Amino acid sequence: MIARLHPDVVVMDLAMAGMSGVEATRRVMTQRRPPAVVALSGSRELMRDAIAAGAGQALLKEADLTELLAAIRLVAARW
Amino acid sequence: MTDQRNGRTSTRRVPIPSGRETSIAGAVARFAITGLAGLGLLTFLAVQLLSSRGTTEAIRDAKALTQVAGRGIAAPYLTPQLLAGQPEAIRAIDGAVRTRLLAAPVVRVKIWNGTGRIVYSDEPRLIGARYPLGASELHALRTGGVDAEVSDLSRPENRFERQYHKLLEVYYGMRAEDGTPALFELYQRFSSITASGNRVFRTFFVPMIATMVLLELAQIPLAVSLARKVRRGQRDREELLQRAIDASEFERRRIARDLHDGPVQDLAGVSYTLSSAAGEARAVDPELAAALEQTSRQARESIRALRTLLVDIYPPRLHSEGLIAALSDLLSAFTAAGVETMLDADPQLRLPPGVEAVLFRVAQESLRNVLEHAHAKTVNVEVRTPEHHALLEVRDDGCGMDLSAIDEEEHFGLRMLEGLARDSGGRLELESVPGNGTAVRLAMPLD
């Protein structure tokens, strides 16, 4: 879907069925023009892994919408 | 009006109009200049306001950036291991900070624990050092708040940032994984803050100035129309005034003529008849003759008084021989009363009839005041015509007066002179020192 839509920012849930979000982030980053990734997780360890995999921001899932939007704006501006 | 007491000079001034007629171009130019001055002032205020507003917005954005970066990048690495200074944890956060955070305008990152120890910085020489935290930093640490200030680069913890000259430091109170408080601090170039402020300023400045200039231009036609109306009104008033002066002159001439041809001639006849009757009665009844002679003298006195009044009402020499001759006539009364007089004026001077009339009336009223109130030894009258103006000065060395104590209601003559000068486009000034004389000055425009 990312390859088809070419989004600027992807909000990635790190706890997905089938594939881990960290792995998905790593794969997204292999694309020719990868989007910025904001990762969401309940685990700080997974958040660190996501940042190591290329995520621009990693937020706890309890983050509110304002926080999420601010994170999206920041990664979009810096990507 | 100025008033200086205790023997010092005191003056009473009537504002002088700059000319007899307001020019439309001049009025519109004055309006436009005033408008431009207002525009300039507004622009200055707007620049100050927008600059300040822009900087405030930029600082707010810097705080938001710090909060987002703290939660989205630093928070996952705020572990007990990092707070304990374990190299592995430091390497982990350093990678994230350098790849995700250290880019313009962010130039430095520091994370402090509650005791003032720097647990992480992208400048490794700072890690493990301890510095006292300020009150606002401790407050942010305790409450989880965010605050910003210009960095004090003279402080030892900021010694590695001195190359940047001016930085804004934003600190944000966070919690580590185990709940331990920590202070996340981002340093940004202040030039980026002012640049953001300038962007906000430029966004609003040009449309605002364009709007103001258009508003100013839209008002010019209104100002032209208003100035034309004012000028029309001014001309109407001047015409009315001229008519009133003409009518007054006509009435004066008529009254003078009627007095001269009627009561004065009749009284002269009565006086001659009485003198003749007294001559005839002198041989028969000396007592009756004396009474008739006395009555005849009274009639002659009345004729003299009436002739003086005639000169006052309609000075014939003013019209036939000019202002200086008429002033000379006025001063002759002083010579008779033993007051030394001096008339300083060109004997050949002739001025427009309207101006001569006003100068004469002011001199006449002033000299009457000198004669009745001043107890003066000398009185000087001067008439000059410098630079499109006629100037009259009547100066005496009499008892003077305290202008602050003048009763406006009682000094009708003075008020009348002021009114006459003002209505004729001139300026009247009265200067007096108690015990040291009085000067009345009148300036009349000649153009």
**How close is the nearest chain B Cα to the Cα of A2, in Å?**
22
d(CA A62, CA A49): 18
DSSP H or E run through B185: strand B181-189
Percent of chain A with pLDDT over 70: 99
- Which pLDDT value is given to residue B75? 92
Average pLDDT of span B100-111: 89
B68:A52 CB<8 A: no
* Statement: residue B202 has pLDDT above 50: yes
Strand order in the sheet with A36-41: A9-13, A36-41, A57-60
**How close is the nearest chain A Cα to the Cα of B137, in Å?**
23
Interstrand relation of B118-121 and B10-13 (parallel, antiparallel or unpaired): unpaired
Q: Which residue ranges form the domains of chain B, and what is each CATH number?
A: 315-445 (3.30.565.10)
A70:B68 CB<8 A: yes
Could you report the per-residue pLDDT of B165-175, keeping only the tens digit for each? 889 999 999 99
Which residues, 6+ apart, have CB-to-CB distance to B21 below 8 Å?
B231, B234, B235, B238
Q: Which residue ranges form the domains of chain A, and what is each CATH number?
A: 2-72 (3.40.50.2300)
- Which residue of B60, B67, B71 to mutate against A (max A Cβ within 10 Å)? B71
d(CA B76, CA A44): 5
B18-22, B231-235, B291-295, B348-352: which has the minimum mean pLDDT?
A: B18-22
d(CA A50, CA B99): 13
The DSSP 8-state label assigned to residue B371 in this structure reads: I
pLDDT category, B29, cuts 50, 70, 90? confident
* Statement: residue B389 has pLDDT above 70: yes
Higher pLDDT, B9 or B376: B376
Average pLDDT of span B365-392: 90
Q: Are B202 and B81 in contact (CB under 8 A)?
A: no
- Which pLDDT value is given to residue B45? 87
Higher pLDDT, B318 or B102: B102
Nearest CA in chain A to B176: A44
- What is the count of residue pairs from A and B with beta carbons less than 8 Å apart? 46
- Which pLDDT value is given to residue B20? 42
Average pLDDT of span B293-318: 84
Q: Are B182 and B83 in contact (CB under 8 A)?
A: yes
- Which pLDDT value is given to residue B1? 34
Find chain A residues with C-beta within 8 A of B95's C-beta: 52
d(CA A15, CA B228): 81
Q: Are B175 and B113 in contact (CB under 8 A)?
A: no
- Which pLDDT value is given to residue B11? 46
- Which pLDDT value is given to residue B408? 55
Nearest 5°: CA angle at A61, between A59 and A65? 80
A59:B71 CB<8 A: yes
B100:A60 CB<8 A: no
Could you report the per-residue pLDDT of A6-17, keeping only the tens digit for each? 899 999 999 877
The single-letter code of the amino acid at B233 is: G
Q: What is the mean pLDDT of chain B?
A: 84
Average pLDDT of span B155-159: 92
d(CA B255, CA B213): 62
**How close is the nearest chain A Cα to the Cα of B71, in Å?**
7
d(CA A18, CA B212): 63
Q: Per the structure block, which two tokens stand in for B114?
A: 């509650």
Average pLDDT of span B1-30: 50
Find chain A residues with C-beta within 8 A of B172's C-beta: none
Of A45, A51, A67, the CB nearest to B96: A51
B72:A58 CB<8 A: yes
Q: Are B398 and B373 in contact (CB under 8 A)?
A: yes
Interstrand relation of B340-344 and B378-384 (parallel, antiparallel or unpaired): parallel
- Which residue of B68, B82, B146 to mutate against A (max A Cβ within 10 Å)? B68
The single-letter code of the amino acid at B15 is: P
- Which pLDDT value is given to residue B395? 95
Residue B16 burial class via C-beta count within 10 angstroms: exposed 0-12, middle 13-18, buried 19 and up = middle
Of A44, A56, A70, the CB nearest to B100: A56
Find chain B residues with C-beta within 8 A of A63's C-beta: 71
The single-letter code of the amino acid at B110 is: K
- Which pLDDT value is given to residue B116? 93
* Statement: residue B411 has pLDDT above 70: no
- Which pLDDT value is given to residue B10? 44
- Which residue of B90, B100, B186, B192 to mutate against A (max A Cβ within 10 Å)? B100
User: Which of B93-102, B209-218, B300-309, B331-340: highest mean pLDDT?
Assistant: B93-102
* Statement: residue B94 has pLDDT above 70: yes
